[in-house]
Chains A and B, each alone.
Chain A
Amino acid sequence: MNIKLIGVTKRFKTVEVLSNVDLHVRDGELFTLLGPSGCGKTTTLRLIAGFYVPDEGKIMFGEREVQHIPTFKRNIGMVFQNYALWPHMTVHRNVAYGLQFKKEPKAEWPRIVNEALAKVGLVGYEDRYPGQLSGGQQQRVALARALALNPDVLLLDEPLSNLDAKIRGSVRAEIRKLQQALGITTVYVTHDQEEALTLSDRIGIMREGQLVQIGSPHDLYERPATRFVADFIGSNNLVAGKVKATGDDILVETELGLFRGYTHSEMRPGDKCTIAFRPENVEVGTEQPSAEENWIEGKISFASYMGSTLRYEMDHPAGFVLKADIKNPLHHEELGWGSDVYFCFPKSAALVIAD
């Protein structure tokens, strides 16, 4: 089942929380809505679920227009941020509760519940109450409850945010495997970019009620379309400037000097732009590089050791803080704070983004 949002706008009183959003979730894919808090991602999910009705626009499930169809007639399965397991019902009853509304014969219930619990590896927990389960188990019961109804669409609202960091990774992998095995169209909401990158077929980045960019994890990391996306996904050095010349390379004039870079968009000399280069592509040296390369001179102001990487920060007098990562610092001799250094980055790693 594919899902389409066409020109959807949602207002709460006078505040417009979603503005003219167009979105197409393909059949069988895991689509993640990613963004900072208050960007409208949960509102979008709740519109798809049917808890809200859009003020403008259409929502399509396949060929069916659903924006005026109540939640319980949309055949969705939803997993809530706090799981929303009914504390007065056992695991079995939680999972089985929805079956009566699907008119499943009662004799079938134990089999269906058992299948659902088997999918999440919780067979044998039928008679427990939610209060007797760990967070990870509750989360899986919530998933089983959603899957038991054999929904067309699975909606997950920050399902991992209440879990310990340690088990978050394993539950994340389980959700992905299960989704792949079932081939169920899934919309996933999170504010955690790492979660989004590792889990999704495609990601929609949202900001202030609008979708800024939609793409695969690769696309978003490597080809951010806007300064916001470049900044939001991963770590980045961003320097504003003006296009000086175009051609094979793009020449950008900034407060820090002239840099060469590449772009995916049409650029003309004089356009305002931002040059973005990731810390992992920066080389740190103490000798002045050749004039052909992009480099910035400054003093180390901070170093933080994170085991697999060492990050240097350089405070540039022009008011920039630039970052550089040393991968595998095992054989690197750490530079002291205040050392004079050159941050050097190739033009192939300098993406020029139109403003």
Chain B
Amino acid sequence: MSSGMSVVGLKRKLRDSKLWILPIYLFLIIFVIFPLVRLFIDSFTTADIQLSALNEVALTTDLLEEKVNAGEMGEALAAAHDIALQLNRSIDVVGQMIDALGRATFSQHELIAEWQEAQDKVAQEAAAMAELQEDPVAALAQARKSKALVHEIVRLPRRAFSVDFFLDVFRDRLYMKALGNSLLLGLATVATTSVIGFAVAYLLVRYDFPGRKAYNFLTTIPIVMPPLVGVLGFIFILGRGGTVNELFYQLADALEKSWPAVSNWLYDRLPFNFIYGWHGLLLVETCHLFPLITLNVVDSLSKIDASLEEAAESVGSVGFKRLFDVTIPLTIPGFVTGALLVFIGAFADFAAPMVVGLTNFIAPLAYMDIQQFTDRHLFKMGITVGAVMVLISVGLLLIAKRYISLKDYTTLSYKAVERKPLKGAKQAWAHVFLILLLIISYTPYLGVGLASFARSWSMSPLPTSWTLAHYEKILLYAPGYIINTFQFCILAVLMCILIGLPVAWVMARTDLRSRGALDILTTLVLALPGTALGIAYIRAFNMPILFSTPLANIWIIIPIVLAVRRLPYTVRSSYGSLLVVHRSMEEAAQSVGAGGLKTFKDVTFPLIWKGVLAGALFSFMTSIQESAATLLLAIPGWETMTVGIFTFYTGGTHGDAAALGFILIVVGVITLFVMDRLTSATTSGGLFG
């Protein structure tokens, strides 16, 4: 009896300790916390000194060797002279390195001594080289020695911790200007999307007019469209040779005889630059991101109790006064959530600025620094920029979360404000506004669709002949992009569910102390820019652990990064579904004898699967569009569709890029439709729960 009891007791203990959750924590630690920590360690530990002078010594030695072999002694002497100069400069560079190491927070005597020694040797070499300026052959022998030394020095350890190393990025004018630009772009986008997003939300929530439901659906679509495709689409329609400019050319043509003045005026100014530059960038970001504001404000706005506005009216506050004193302040919590996501979205986007020809933004700079890997200095800057982006996003997230928790206006029960019918001229204006907005927002998709079927499309508003060749190419000759995307994304979604559902369960159903940490972690991931996460992954998984190849070079890294990026959606939706299933339902199952797993299978799961699946589909839909992390982590032979679009576009085959993009759009819309069907009464917004 007693031994039986103890076995039961042990079983119970095992169950209560929830050991099965450990692998999930391990996953989160390895793939969320470790890369971020690594990113910060790297940005704080590498001294940022350009060692190019040393490399030049090696290069010029090769040149000297060539010249000596060719018998061009005059030029060989010149090279030897250069080497002497470069060696002298190297002394300074190594000196700077020593200074930099001297700035390290913890003293680095040994490391400094090594560099000191290196500096002495370089000085000797420089002196020896100076002696041998008459004899190219002797100089070559000496230079070979120098080259060997330089190689040795370049490989010397230079890792030391210092806040200064991190702060280097803030001393660099170029990066500061870029950071300023990116912050400004973020703020400007928040401003434009706020005006548009709020106006749309107010119309949709407070007024009734024909087509309201259709507008409701259509105005959310832009956010689920791949941003990269959006930019391309804008260029097809609004670019210098795009549809709109071609139409203007035709207009100018047509007016040449009847109205020459206007015609000439047009010719002087055409093509209009709609897209290249700040204004285009702002347009692209606004059209893509405004639904984030709409969704969140709709959520807040529809939860305002009618009596709050009636109370305002009863004391005399009406119209705009009431709108600005009562209604808008009450939407602030939802608005802040939306604005934060908009800000991070615009601030960390690197594809759009690059496509419209602006590179002095922080994200494109980081992308180029990391991707092109031209020298250590830039690579180091890329890493630091990644860390700065994480810091800014997370900082803003924390501020926003704190602000929102202070302003919790939610009430348990509320009576929604009744929709007012919109009639006559006011209704007409609403239609004009919404249709115009939709036309502008859908322009890119139209452009991509047209371009994907176009055989030739230049010097004309619309393509002049049509073809399926782009699709043929994509589907028959390079199907890898599509196959990879689907494989990776399905895998990512499975990971999302496998990890997200237990995480949600822990948050909703247990009182483990790690609940708070899980909540913070999943929210944090939501705010992490893809660019920053991509950079962190490159740094964290670039050395071989367990496998002979570094993880960053194995395809599995892509589904993993996608799963991590989209994890918050699955967690949020599963958590929401779990909250709706009252705990007493599970307790009732247990009271009639069902065990824990059985209860989950028979009671909990049937009640939550729709919500979980909706979250998973949303994760899928947004995964196929991920461009930031996948572009950074792209592995040859394992490229996804977004990588393909970028490659085709930058390679000049716009039609193929468009075909891939259009497939992406179609898949996205189908997924959205299925999701809509699945959760006809799904709540949107409120991503912070």
Using a CB–CB cutoff of 8 Å, the interface residues on chain A facing chain B are 49, 51, 70-73, 76-78, 80-82, 84-88, 97-98, 100-102, 131, 145-146, 149
Q: A80-B310, A84-B305, A87-B330 are in contact. Are A101 and B315 (CB under 8 A)?
A: yes
Distance in angstroms between the alpha carbons of A61 and B317 in the assembled complex: 21
**Is B97's CB within 8 Å of the partner chain A?**
no
Q: Which residue of A lies closest to B413 (CB)?
A: A82
Contact assessment for A72 and B316 in the assembled complex, using a CB-CB cutoff below 8 Å: yes
Contact assessment for B308 and A86 in the assembled complex, using a CB-CB cutoff below 8 Å: yes
**Is B326's CB within 8 Å of the partner chain A?**
yes
A residues within 8 A CB of B311? 78, 80, 84-86, 145
Distance in angstroms between the alpha carbons of A81 and B305 in the assembled complex: 11
Contact assessment for B409 and A98 in the assembled complex, using a CB-CB cutoff below 8 Å: no
**Is B408's CB within 8 Å of the partner chain A?**
yes
Q: Which 3 A-B pairs have the closest CB atoms?
A: A98-B315, A101-B316, A84-B307
B residues within 8 A CB of A73? 316
Q: A80-B307, A80-B310, A84-B310 are in contact. Are A98 and B316 (CB under 8 A)?
A: yes
Q: A82-B305, A87-B409, A88-B409 are in contact. Are A72 and B315 (CB under 8 A)?
A: yes
Contact assessment for B310 and A97 in the assembled complex, using a CB-CB cutoff below 8 Å: no
Q: A82-B411, A87-B330 are in contact. List 9 more A-B contacts (CB 8 A).
A: A71-B314, A72-B314, A76-B314, A78-B310, A80-B307, A87-B409, A97-B317, A98-B315, A146-B314
Contact assessment for B308 and A84 in the assembled complex, using a CB-CB cutoff below 8 Å: yes
Distance in angstroms between the alpha carbons of A189 and B325 in the assembled complex: 29
9 CB-based A-B contacts, threshold 8 Å: A72-B317, A77-B314, A82-B413, A84-B305, A86-B312, A88-B332, A101-B315, A101-B317, A149-B316
A residues within 8 A CB of B307? 80-82, 84
Kindly provide the distance from the CB of A72 to the nearest chain B CB, expressed in whole angstroms. Answer: 4
Kindly provide the distance from the CB of A226 to the nearest chain B CB, expressed in whole angstroms. Answer: 32
Q: Which residue of A lies closest to B415 (CB)?
A: A82
Distance in angstroms between the alpha carbons of A88 and B325 in the assembled complex: 9
Contact assessment for A86 and B326 in the assembled complex, using a CB-CB cutoff below 8 Å: yes
Distance in angstroms between the alpha carbons of A71 and B318 in the assembled complex: 10
Kindly provide the distance from the CB of A80 to the nearest chain B CB, expressed in whole angstroms. Answer: 4
**Is B407's CB within 8 Å of the partner chain A?**
yes
Contact assessment for B408 and A131 in the assembled complex, using a CB-CB cutoff below 8 Å: yes
For B315, give its contact among A51, A82, A88, A145 (CB under 8 Å): A145
Contact assessment for B411 and A88 in the assembled complex, using a CB-CB cutoff below 8 Å: no
For B330, give its contact among A76, A88, A101 (CB under 8 Å): A88
**Is B595's CB within 8 Å of the partner chain A?**
no
Distance in angstroms between the alpha carbons of A146 and B307 in the assembled complex: 14
Distance in angstroms between the alpha carbons of A145 and B307 in the assembled complex: 14
For B407, give its contact among A70, A76, A88, A97 (CB under 8 Å): A88
**Is B602's CB within 8 Å of the partner chain A?**
no
Distance in angstroms between the alpha carbons of A88 and B333 in the assembled complex: 11
A residues within 8 A CB of B329? 86, 88
Distance in angstroms between the alpha carbons of A146 and B315 in the assembled complex: 8
Interface 0/1 of B393-414, CB less than 8 Å to A: 0000000000000011101010
Kindly provide the distance from the CB of A317 to the nearest chain B CB, expressed in whole angstroms. Answer: 42
Q: A82-B411, A88-B330 are in contact. Are A72 and B308 (CB under 8 A)?
A: no
Contact assessment for A49 and B314 in the assembled complex, using a CB-CB cutoff below 8 Å: yes
Distance in angstroms between the alpha carbons of A305 and B347 in the assembled complex: 71
Kindly provide the distance from the CB of A149 to the nearest chain B CB, expressed in whole angstroms. Answer: 6
Contact assessment for B317 and A98 in the assembled complex, using a CB-CB cutoff below 8 Å: yes
Q: Which residue of B lies closest to A99 (CB)?
A: B315
A residues within 8 A CB of B330? 86-88
Kindly provide the distance from the CB of B423 to the nearest chain A CB, expressed in whole angstroms. Answer: 17
B residues within 8 A CB of A77? 314-315
Kindly provide the distance from the CB of A34 to the nearest chain B CB, expressed in whole angstroms. Answer: 21
Distance in angstroms between the alpha carbons of A101 and B325 in the assembled complex: 13
Kindly provide the distance from the CB of A259 to the nearest chain B CB, expressed in whole angstroms. Answer: 47
Contact assessment for A70 and B318 in the assembled complex, using a CB-CB cutoff below 8 Å: yes
Q: Which residue of B lies closest to A142 (CB)?
A: B311
Q: Which residue of B lies closest to A102 (CB)?
A: B316
Distance in angstroms between the alpha carbons of A100 and B329 in the assembled complex: 18
Interface 0/1 of B407-432, CB less than 8 Å to A: 11101010000000000000000000
Distance in angstroms between the alpha carbons of A244 and B413 in the assembled complex: 54
A residues within 8 A CB of B66? none
A residues within 8 A CB of B131? none
A residues within 8 A CB of B256? none
Distance in angstroms between the alpha carbons of A51 and B417 in the assembled complex: 12
**Is B587's CB within 8 Å of the partner chain A?**
no
A residues within 8 A CB of B413? 82
A residues within 8 A CB of B375? none
Q: Which residue of A lies closest to B317 (CB)?
A: A101
Q: Which residue of B lies closest to A95 (CB)?
A: B315
**Is B313's CB within 8 Å of the partner chain A?**
yes
Kindly provide the distance from the CB of A253 to the nearest chain B CB, expressed in whole angstroms. Answer: 50
Contact assessment for B315 and A149 in the assembled complex, using a CB-CB cutoff below 8 Å: yes
Contact assessment for A72 and B318 in the assembled complex, using a CB-CB cutoff below 8 Å: yes
Q: Which residue of A lies closest to B322 (CB)?
A: A72
Kindly provide the distance from the CB of B336 to the nearest chain A CB, expressed in whole angstroms. Answer: 13
Kindly provide the distance from the CB of A152 to the nearest chain B CB, expressed in whole angstroms. Answer: 13
Distance in angstroms between the alpha carbons of A149 and B325 in the assembled complex: 18
Distance in angstroms between the alpha carbons of A131 and B410 in the assembled complex: 10
Distance in angstroms between the alpha carbons of A187 and B591 in the assembled complex: 51
A residues within 8 A CB of B407? 87-88
Kindly provide the distance from the CB of B330 to the nearest chain A CB, expressed in whole angstroms. Answer: 6
